[in-house]
Chains A and B, each alone.
Chain A
């Protein structure tokens, strides 16, 4: 009985695939502080003295919520006592009666109103930029202002990180490409480490799923998306504290590109399988068509959600575990928390590679189904 050609790999893959479920199971603990937060806010509003623990919890929650969002400045860490932020500002680019460009330092970490060409902007708590007046009046409640929003094309922390990763990838792989000519077809330099991975993507992902005939067309996308996701995931694990692949806009972008490539390279056979499934009775064909049609949108949607949920869950779990130190505030719990965080971080390294692999693998699978030749009926072995 053969379940899989690579049983061990398969089992490990399933185990790892189940990890996010464990991660999600931790979410209720994450939700409870949210409730306490609202109660804390309520306490504050009613003028009662806040107890220290709920204040810490509130702060942790805010940090967590803030971390998983994009940011308009690259902040490494901050000293709350003195209010000094360590990091560097990033350019803000707004589309509001023409292009408005200024440095994010003008926001003074969300505390000041930024002025540009007579327009006034304020940074909301949800990292959105709102149009305001010189005094910085905000309407609506603190977390959901009703001020008009502007189109924000700022080079945010995530965009900046993407640019760094893109540059790194370009230097790394163009260096690898050049080393072949210089070194007699043998890889040299730092890129050398990645050559087996490039070959792995080609031999284990692209060729088996797409087929020997068509795989070359998709190699550039598959390799780029694999390394892009992987590198960004790994960067997300560093203390730089970026969370790019755990952002729905990023995963949506990658999924939409995958969807567009699948749709525009699909052959007649692919559309035939969607709208008029061969080999089933006509009534079934009519029932299957809308399901299949829905399927072509669900596939990239699943890609988007899977990557987003996995990465954000990892970040939240790590942060929640670290937050235990501040909540319990004793040495034993701190050691336990650090140990647990270490273990989860190690797993996250694996998840970082695995999610990149899964995204690439599924994209290749979709491309494979788009270019599959018509051979079901005649080529039964």
Chain B
């Protein structure tokens, strides 16, 4: 310990203190502060860059999933549209068929009715014709019959005779 104290150089201690403290302040101003600031700044920059890259990736992912979703939706919509169109087509065809059928039926009905009425008219006409003809025939016959007096008397006698028998 005594040797330690003996070796202790006061001048060296003095210079050490001066140089060291001076070095601390000099380096603080010219080195440590700018270095640590720059490093901090860089670290912040890296952190921010990583964060924004992460955000961009997430956004990208979102966009991608959005795209996927939209595509999916579009596909579904297209399918729905196609299905609708097909349905409509079928319905239209069916409707048209039905209507045509109904129309046809109706026309047939009408035709049938017309035929019936024509037939009836024809029958009525025929009847009329027949009755006219019959009357004409009967008229002619009667004219002929009535012109023959003897036959008439004979007939009346005969009828009377029948009536007597009764």
Interface residues of B in 21-53 (CB under 8 A from A): 21-28, 30-36, 38-39, 41-42, 45
The 8 A CB mask of A216-241 against B (1 = contact, 0 = none) is: 10011101110010000000000000
Q: Separation in Å of the B1 CB from the closest CB of chain A? A: 10
Partner of B23, one of A177, A224, A247: A224
Query: Which of the 9-residue segments B9-17, B96-104, B127-135 touches chain A?
Result: B9-17
Known: A176-B31, A224-B20. A159 touches B26 (CB 8 A): no
Known: A173-B32, A247-B12. A126 touches B38 (CB 8 A): no
Question: Do residues B24 and A247 form an inter-chain contact, with CB atoms below 8 A?
Answer: no
Q: Separation in Å of the A278 CB from the closest CB of chain B? A: 34
- Let me know if B165 is at the binding interface, CB within 8 A: no
Known: A223-B27, A253-B13. A162 touches B35 (CB 8 A): no
Question: Do residues A173 and B38 form an inter-chain contact, with CB atoms below 8 A?
Answer: no
Question: Do residues B30 and A177 form an inter-chain contact, with CB atoms below 8 A?
Answer: yes
Q: A218 to B133, alpha carbons, bound, how many Å?
A: 148
- Let me know if A166 is at the binding interface, CB within 8 A: yes
Q: Separation in Å of the B27 CB from the closest CB of chain A? A: 5
> Within 8 Å CB of A225, what residues of B?
20
Question: Do residues A257 and B17 form an inter-chain contact, with CB atoms below 8 A?
Answer: yes
Partner of A174, one of B15, B19, B21, B30: B30
Known: A170-B31, A173-B27. A254 touches B20 (CB 8 A): yes
Question: Do residues A177 and B12 form an inter-chain contact, with CB atoms below 8 A?
Answer: no
Chain B interface SS verdict (over half): helix
Q: A130 to B33, alpha carbons, bound, how many Å?
A: 45
Partner of B38, one of A69, A177, A202: A177
Question: Do residues B11 and A153 form an inter-chain contact, with CB atoms below 8 A?
Answer: yes
- Let me know if B163 is at the binding interface, CB within 8 A: no
Q: Separation in Å of the B32 CB from the closest CB of chain A? A: 5
Q: A140 to B69, alpha carbons, bound, how many Å?
A: 102
Question: Do residues B16 and A162 form an inter-chain contact, with CB atoms below 8 A?
Answer: yes
Q: How many A residues face the partner with a CB closer than 8 A?
A: 48
Chain B residue nearest to A162 (CB atoms) is B19
Question: Do residues A173 and B31 form an inter-chain contact, with CB atoms below 8 A?
Answer: yes
Question: Do residues A170 and B16 form an inter-chain contact, with CB atoms below 8 A?
Answer: no
Q: A256 to B38, alpha carbons, bound, how many Å?
A: 31
Known: A180-B34, A228-B23. A159 touches B15 (CB 8 A): yes
Known: A180-B38, A253-B20. A223 touches B11 (CB 8 A): no
Interface residues of B in 113-162 (CB under 8 A from A): none
Question: Do residues A252 and B13 form an inter-chain contact, with CB atoms below 8 A?
Answer: yes
Q: A252 to B4, alpha carbons, bound, how many Å?
A: 11
Question: Do residues A158 and B39 form an inter-chain contact, with CB atoms below 8 A?
Answer: no
Question: Do residues A69 and B7 form an inter-chain contact, with CB atoms below 8 A?
Answer: yes
Question: Do residues A174 and B31 form an inter-chain contact, with CB atoms below 8 A?
Answer: yes
Question: Do residues A156 and B35 form an inter-chain contact, with CB atoms below 8 A?
Answer: no
> Within 8 Å CB of A256, what residues of B?
17
Q: Separation in Å of the B36 CB from the closest CB of chain A? A: 6
Question: Do residues B10 and A152 form an inter-chain contact, with CB atoms below 8 A?
Answer: yes
Question: Do residues B35 and A249 form an inter-chain contact, with CB atoms below 8 A?
Answer: no
Question: Do residues B45 and A166 form an inter-chain contact, with CB atoms below 8 A?
Answer: no
Known: A177-B35, A180-B38, A221-B24. A249 touches B30 (CB 8 A): no
Give the top 6 A-B pairs by smallest Cβ distance, nearest first: A173-B31, A180-B38, A177-B34, A220-B28, A253-B16, A249-B13
10 contacts between A and B (CB under 8 A): A151-B11, A153-B11, A169-B23, A170-B31, A180-B42, A181-B38, A198-B36, A223-B27, A224-B20, A254-B16
- 4 additional A-B residue pairs with CB within 8 Å, beyond A169-B27, A228-B20: A152-B10, A153-B11, A174-B30, A250-B16
Residues of chain B at the chain A interface (Cβ within 8 Å): 4, 6-17, 19-28, 30-36, 38-39, 41-42, 45
